[in-house]
Amino acid sequence: MRIVYSFPESLRKTKNKIEKIKGQGFDAIQIPPLEPLKEEDSSVWWKAYQPISFNIGNIYGSKEELIAFCRECERIGLRVYADAIINHMGADNNDSLKPHDLVDERLKANPAYWKERVPVTNWHDRSDVIHHCINLPGLNVYHPDVETMIVDFLNELIDCGITGFRFDAAKSIGLPSEGYRFWPNLIYRLKKYGLFLYGEVIFEENPRIIDEYAEYMHVLGNYDGSNRSNMVKYIETHDTYLSDDALGYSKYWSMDKIINDYCNLVKYYENTLFYIRPSDHSWQDQRIRDAHACARVRRK
C-alpha cells in the first residue's frame, strides 16, 4: 500500500490533486484529523491534534465534504484513510493535562474517562507509556464507555466512505499481554472488514511489542518487527518536518534526498507513506512514479 499525506491541507485543496496522486502510483490518501478542534488554526500544525469531541467537521473539512471527497476518490480507485485521534483531547491553556473547557461535556464530566494526570517520563517503560499522558489530557480508552464512543466515531467515518485508519499515538494504548483488550475489541466492533489499519508506534525498539501491535494493525514506526509486510515505513512525516523541536529532524533535508530515500524504501517494503510538504510539488517527480511501478512488477 502506497499512502500519501498532504497536511495541513484541506479536503477541498487535496481534491484538486487526486488525479495526479493516482497517476503517481499511490493507492491511498491519508486525510487530516476531522474532529472538532480546540483552536481552528491551520498555521500551527499541532492544533489539528487537539480535538474536543468524537464528531466530524473542522477547518480541514465538513462531514459533507468528506462524503463527496471519498466518492471522488472511489471513482478513480483511490482509498481514503482517516487520521484518528483517539488517545487524548485538547488541553486547557493553563494546564496541559487538564481537558479544555470546550471538550465534550460527556467526556469532561466523568473522571473515570481520563488517565491519571501524570506525564510520561520514561518512554522505555511500558507501564508509564500506556497509563500516563503525552503532555495532553489522556483518555482512559480502557473504559467501556470511552471505547464505545471511539467505535461509534470510527463507524461514522466508515459510513462516510473511509476505508482505513491511521491511529495517532497507538503506542500509548496497551496491548492484551499488558492486560488490555482495547485493540481486539475495537477491530471486532468496526462495521467493515478488510480496512487498512496502521498505528503510530514510533521509537519503539522492542520487537516483541512491535509484533504484538502488528497482530491488530500495520505498524507505522522507525523500527521493524519480525515481518516487514506488517510495517508502514516513511522517510518524512508531518511530525518530522513541521516540528520545531528535535522531532523535526527532516525539515532541513533536501527534497532530492527525501525522494531518493523514499524510492529505496519502496524497493524493500510493501507499505510506505510519503508526506507532501506544504507548497512543494516534488511529490510529482518521475522517480516516485517509476519506483511504484517497479515495485508492482516485482510483486507480480
Structural domains of the chain in order of their starting residue, each with its CATH number: 2-87+143-299 (3.20.20.80)
The 10 Å CB-count burial string (b at 16+, else e) for 5-26 is bbbbbbbeebbebbeebbebbb
Virtual CA dihedral for 50, 53, 57, 63, nearest 10 degrees?
140
Mean pLDDT of the 23-30 span: 98
Mean pLDDT of the 143-156 span: 98
Mean pLDDT of the 169-186 span: 98
Give the pLDDT score at 42.
87
Euclidean distance between CA atoms 157 and 55, whole angstroms: 9
Mean pLDDT of the 128-148 span: 97
pLDDT in tens, 261-279: 999 999 999 999 999 999 9
Residue 297 has pLDDT above 80, yes or no: yes
Euclidean distance between CA atoms 263 and 272, whole angstroms: 10
Rounded mean pLDDT of the chain? 96
Give the pLDDT score at 300.
65
pTM of this structure? 0.96
SS3 readout for the chain = CEEEECCCCCHHHHHCCHHHHHHCCCCEEEECCCCCECCCCCCCHHHHHCECCCCCCECCECHHHHHHHHHHHHHHCCEEEEEECCCECCEECCEEEEECCCCCHHHHCCHHHECCCCECCCCCCHHHHHHCECCCCEECCCCHHHHHHHHHHHHHHHHHCCCEEEECCHHHCCCHHHCCCHHHHHHHHCCCCCCEEEEECCCCCCHHHHHHHCCCCEEECCCCCCCHHHEEEECCCHHHHHCCCCCCCCCCCCHHHHHHHHHHHHHHCCCEEEECCCCCCHHHCHHHHHHHHHHHHHHC
pLDDT band at 299, cuts 50/70/90?
Answer: confident
Mean pLDDT of the 98-126 span: 96
Mean pLDDT of the 191-220 span: 96
Mean pLDDT of the 204-221 span: 97
Mean pLDDT of the 96-118 span: 97
pLDDT in tens, 239-253: 999 999 999 999 999
